[in-house]
Amino acid sequence: MTHPPATQNLHRRDLLGCMGAAAAATAFAGQSAFAANPAAEVGDRTSSIRITGLKPNICRDRVYVKIDTNHGISGWGEIKGVVPSVAAALATSMFELLDGQNPTRIEHLWQSLYRAERNQRGGAFMVHCIAGIDMALWDITGQLWGVPVYRMLGGPLREKIRVYPSEKAIKIGSGPQPQSGDPDEIEVMVQAVRRAREAVGEDGAVMFDAHSAVPPAMLLQFAAAIEPYDILFLEEPAVPGNIEVFKRLKQQIRIPLAAGERDRTIWGIMPYLAEKALDIVQPDCGYTGGISQMKKIATLAEAYMTPLAPHCTQSYLGMTASFHVAASVPLFLIHESYDDKLLGTIVKPHWKRTKDGHVTLPEGTGLCLDVDEDALAKVAADPNYKYRWRGPKYNADGSVTDY
């Protein structure tokens, strides 16, 4: 009688046991590989820094946000363009999503805030508040790692940042205008452009801000009249939200068109680029979602060979945050920048203006600035200041107009 080979006498349970052991070994090896892979540690479990507090400081028409951590490092951000009392309340509520989180997970926290409430997603109040928080997170992370924010954005692409206004760069603008202007009304704006060109000379830059307040018919007439003065760009040619109007103007105006200050996030800027409706994009770091979104907008615009001319009416805090992005992107034109003696007593940035119309790169760590909290409290407590709505604008006939 012939007996089967010994291997054929393996009991089924023995075979299953061997298979189970092999599977366990494979699983263990996988777990070991996972543990050895730093990329798998998405929560950055090796870091113990955590967010412990958020304090919104209402100061006149804006809110300065301070975020604290258990490592004693604090970061600052600025919220503007929202009713201050509302911004402070919303930022305080958002702390629920930040409490105990690692502040260096900036993108994760940005997405968590943005996607936390579907009915508020993308709205001005939410995005402006996220912008201030985002600035503070970058500030903390830069301080923690001992570098300025622009180093974390890829490093500087330039040694200085061109700004306006300066002796060689002027922006003028217009208030509300009628639907189609008479020659004398158009001539007033034309003369303003002519005077600005004479002031800066042929080697200077003149920009004109229509403030979305010059209706398309009148804007076409005006743009044709100022062609000889070679302005750098015509800003906000139309009210945001109707890309077809921008396209129509772009087809008929031979002056570079710029806009974007009231368009939030990459999703707000995308239609202009995809429809070839703008020559220059103007994101505002404080309005579009902070440093994180402004950097993404710059990359998106780069794909369309469209430079940035950042809008900025923030104080030195939001302005400095914007400078870090401007320093780190390839396609950059010019940056809006103003001095404010009152708010300048609160925020002390570590950059300087140069005589040739530039600012130096920020020096230090994080945002590279100091906030004087005593001065902040003093300015914020001014009993003579009361926040007021900018209010509607009216035409000569009493009708409400855009601005």
Give catalytic residues, as residue numbers. Answer: 211, 311
Beta-carbon neighbour count of residue 44 at 10 Å? 13
List the structure tokens of 232.
């750098």
Dump strand ranges (E) for 248-375. 257-259, 280-281, 335-336, 347-349, 358-360, 369-371
CA-to-CA dists, residue 250 to 164, 176, 279, angstroms? 25, 21, 9
Instruction: State the Cα angle at 284 between 367 and 116, rounded to 5°.
Output: 85
Single out the residue of 146, 70, 147, 128 nearest to residue 102, CA to CA: 70
User: How far, rounded to the nearest angstrom, does the alpha carbon of residue 323 sit from its chain's CA centroid?
Assistant: 10
The total number of residues written for the chain in this structure: 403
Amino acid at 338: Y
With a CB cutoff of 8 Å and minimum separation 6, the contacts of 99 are: 51, 52
d(CA 266, CA 273): 10
List the structure tokens of 83.
């009713």
Q: Which helix (H) or strand (E) holds 36?
A: helix 12-36
- Token pair 């349970």 is found at 13
Phi, psi dihedral angles at 334 (to 5 degrees): -165, 155
Instruction: State the Cα angle at 29 between 27 and 31, rounded to 5°.
Output: 70
List the structure tokens of 99.
């409490």
d(CA 181, CA 177): 7
Amino acid at 195: R
CA-to-CA dists, residue 111 to 108, 114, 292, 362, angstroms? 5, 5, 10, 27
Are 103 and 51 a contacting pair, CB within 8 Å?
A: yes
Q: Which residues pair with 69 in a beta bridge?
A: 51
Amino acid at 212: S
